[in-house]
Amino acid sequence: MRYLTAGESHGPQLTTIIEGLPSLLPLTAEQINHDLKRRQGGHGRGRRMQIETDTVEIVAGVRHGKTLGSPVALVVTNDDWKHWTKIMGAEPLAEDVDPDEIKRQISRPRPGHADLVGGMKYGHRDLRNVLERSSARETTVRVAAGSVAKALLKELGISIVAHVTEIAGIKADTSLLEGKTADEIRTIVEADACYCIDPVASAKMVEIIDETKKAGDSIGGVVEVIVEGLPAGIGSYVHYDRKLDGKLAAAMLSINAFKGVEFGIGFEAARLPGSQVHDEILWDEDNGYMRATNRLGGLEGGMSTGMPIVVRGVMKPIPTLYKPLQSVDIETKEPFKASVERSDSCAVPAASIVAEHVIAWEIAKVIVEQFHSDQLPQLQAQLDEMRRYTKEF
Ligand SMILES: Cc1cc2nc3c(=O)[nH]c(=O)nc-3n(C[C@H](O)[C@H](O)[C@H](O)COP(=O)(O)O)c2cc1C
Ligand SMILES: C=C(O[C@@H]1CC(C(=O)O)=C[C@@H](OP(=O)(O)O)[C@H]1O)C(=O)O
């Protein structure tokens, strides 16, 4: 299973083509739109999100609410495009048009963005040609593709949820997650301004986001994704590029502004003895194999253990700041301090939704590769058999 995305931030549309999905999977635009709306939300988003109402059109691969097995194509229209048709149009500029008037040329790279190095790499002196694609606007269709993956995981008895564990040093009390299923966690965090399980921490997060915005600065944080219902043995230890943890880490780090990843107790493992890190193995008649703890986040040897997968990603502060940072104009080579029109001040809650969907995609992809998967019922039968086999092993 694979997908490509195309589209510029202020171009006409964002597009994804998903190839390799099993046939007979129930799929509607409505379920994808729910996830797109969650990605647009979360406290700290800027004015662009008031312009956009992200909704998907399914233009291929689905008939009467079920996948056909052919490529699925999804399109999300940029509502902002109508303000950018001249600046972002694909046609060459007419001869009587002054390019400086039309192109909104950018020669001042923003620290922390792809602007400067992207310009060097692709030979663009108008840095708009870089930022239009390096923008996290692209995560819209990554969420759409991940939402399709989640529809598949749901049919296979696998649930996934993301939530925010930390913003600018304010940490959620994650003991509030204990005893709750992924679906129960989703109901709670969906109703929270920061997609956080802890209302007390969330109120402080809202406060610090507002204060930071007023000060013209930006902040980052940590998001966590939990995957439940995955059988043991997904992924493999036999070759480096088949390890599930490696794939999940790469997916997490592929999100704009994500700079680190950890599983289970994560970097804390460096500070603890092995007896307080590894998860002891238990067995009983009803449940088969279990772990007394889940400190390693449901992964051993590049494979799922059958315990929930717990993976976290850290997001750096948004690079576009109202409080200007030092940079150099690439035309004049003069130093300047950037001034900015609009930006998110904190996109950690929104990014948690992106994380949920890139992880969902990766897990669905590994499952589809590991089992015979032309059609959903065959895939479901094999997952059921894998669960029975690993329990009785
Ligand atoms: C959901 C989301 C929204 C973002 N919004 C903004 C934004 O409004 N302004 C900005 O400067 N960066 C924003 N970013 C971060 C930049 O896209 C990112 O830092 C930039 O592309 C450079 O990539 P890198 O940080 O991975 O090196 C956002 C990221 C995500 C995931
Ligand atoms: C458009 C989205 O986020 C954008 C991500 C982004 C960036 O530099 O990454 C910069 C901003 O775009 P603009 O310059 O148009 O205001 C954000 O709004 C989105 O998430 O859909």
Instruction: For residue 218, give the ligand nearest its CA.
Output: 1
* CA-proximal residue: ligand 1, atom 13 (nearest): 318
Residue 339 has pLDDT above 90, yes or no: no
Mean pLDDT along residues 182-210 = 97
Say what the pLDDT of residue 11 is. Answer: 97
Domains, the chain, with CATH or none: 2-392 (3.60.150.10)
Query: What ipTM does this complex have?
Result: 0.98
> 149, exposed or middle or buried, with CB in 10 Å at 0-12, 13-18, 19+?
buried
Helix (H) or strand (E) run with residue 115 in it: helix 115-122
Residue 136 Cα, ligand 2 centroid: separation in angstroms?
6
CA–CA gap between residue 367 and residue 149 (Å, rounded)? 11
- For a pocket test of ligand 1, which of 80, 135, 143, 261 has the largest count of ligand atoms closer than 8 A to its C-beta? 135
What percentage of the chain carries pLDDT values higher than 90?
A: 90
pLDDT tens column, 41-96:
999 998 889 999 999 999 999 999 999 999 999 999 999 999 999 889 998 887 77
The ligand 2 atom at the shortest distance from the C-alpha of residue 257 is 9
Look at the pTM and tell me if it is higher than 0.95: yes
Residue 257 Cα, ligand 1 centroid: separation in angstroms?
5
Instruction: For residue 344, give the ligand nearest its CA.
Output: 1
CA–CA gap between residue 77 and residue 244 (Å, rounded)? 34
Point out the annotated binding site: 39, 45, 133-135, 256-257, 301, 316-320, 342
